[in-house]
Amino acid sequence: MAFRILLPAEFQDVHRQVALAWMLRGHEFNHEEWQVVIRAFDLLKEAAVVTPQGVLPFPVIYYRQVEEPYADSFIQTLLQANEVAQAATQAWVEVATNIPQRLRQAGLVPPNQPAARLLLAYCLYWWYTFAYGYSFEVEILRDLAQSGIQFSAHDLTRRSDRLSGWDLEVSGFRGDIKRSLIFLQTSRGRYLPLAFYIVRLTQDKRAQILVVMMHQAMWDAIDGETTLTTLSNLANVLPTTARVYVSGIEVVVADYALWKRLVHRHQSGR
């Protein structure tokens, strides 16, 4: 079999274009551009490389060429760092710099196969989400511990734990810690399976805000007030605690610091 790239039928020209645009200026994308790029990299999970040795799906290549050799040491770097964000950036760029060379040496991005660049973009995209997703998780887990919140969390040093259905448990409620991009890529949809999600967003010239999006049951348990609004208007209501309906499902969005205070009070029995 000659080398070629197999793409899903739904993968169109716009997806080839957005893959390049993301590499060039993903940090500047608008609403519509994120919608397309999230779809594009979802679709590429179904893509594969056909080689004389057989068919290799993109996710298998990503695992063998990126996650397997680099993920564990990256997590260790985060856990041992005093400044997690700084260490994450340095470790991310070291691995990201190696990815093109590694794929080329493995014969997976030959110079005469321009479509194979999609594999390169795919590996860079998912390494980016992995690296900064876990750096955020380590930051939050440290902050919760330092804030005196009682919780149990999965062991990030074990891949099987990293693939678990939730990141932590607080007062009997299971939750996830997600950067906003990664939430949309992995947890989106009509139904939120976990009780809460800690998410970081930006507002007003990139000032960071931390929110906790939770089912009403958790908010009821820790006792808070809410303001009813719509999902599309939520950004204007924050940091006031808001209650929204996402396709009929009631979700409370609260400021992270307020959520921590209420959880701490709840766990202290006050």
Partner 1 sequence: MFGKAIDAISDQEMEEAIAAHLAWGQTWHGDLPADVFFGIWADLAGKARPLVVTVQLGAPKPVITVPPESPLTVADNRILLDDGRELVLRFVS
Within positions 200 to 259, which residues make up the interface with partner 1, using CB under 8 A?
A: 200-203, 206, 208-209, 230-232, 234-236, 238, 246-247
Q: Which stretch binds partner 1 (CB under 8 A): 59-67, 128-136, 149-157, 167-175?
A: 128-136
Q: Smallest distance from the beta carbon of 269 to partner 1, in angstroms? A: 34
242: exposed, middle or buried (Cβ count in 10 Å: 0-12, 13-18, 19+): buried
User: Are the C-beta atoms of residues 168 and 177 closer than 8 Å to each other?
Assistant: yes
| Radius of gyration for the alpha carbons in the chain, expressed in angstroms and rounded | 20
Residues 53-72 within binding reach of partner 1 (CB under 8 A): none
Q: Smallest distance from the beta carbon of 242 to partner 1, in angstroms? A: 10
**Comparison of 125 and 173: residue with beta carbon closer to partner 1:** 125
Return the residue of 51, 150, 171, 180 that touches partner 1, per CB under 8 A: 180
96 contacts partner 1 (rule: CB under 8 A):
yes
Query: In sequence order, what are the residues at sequence separation of 6 or more whose Cβ sits closer than 8 angstroms to the Cβ of residue 241?
Result: 224, 225, 226, 227, 252, 253, 254, 255, 258
CA distances for 25 relative to 41, 190, 223, angstroms: 16, 29, 42
* Crossing angle of the two packed helices 117-146 and 68-80, in degrees rounded to 10: 30
**Comparison of 31 and 270: residue with beta carbon closer to partner 1:** 31
Q: Smallest distance from the beta carbon of 150 to partner 1, in angstroms? A: 27
Residues 15-34 within binding reach of partner 1 (CB under 8 A): 16-27, 30-34
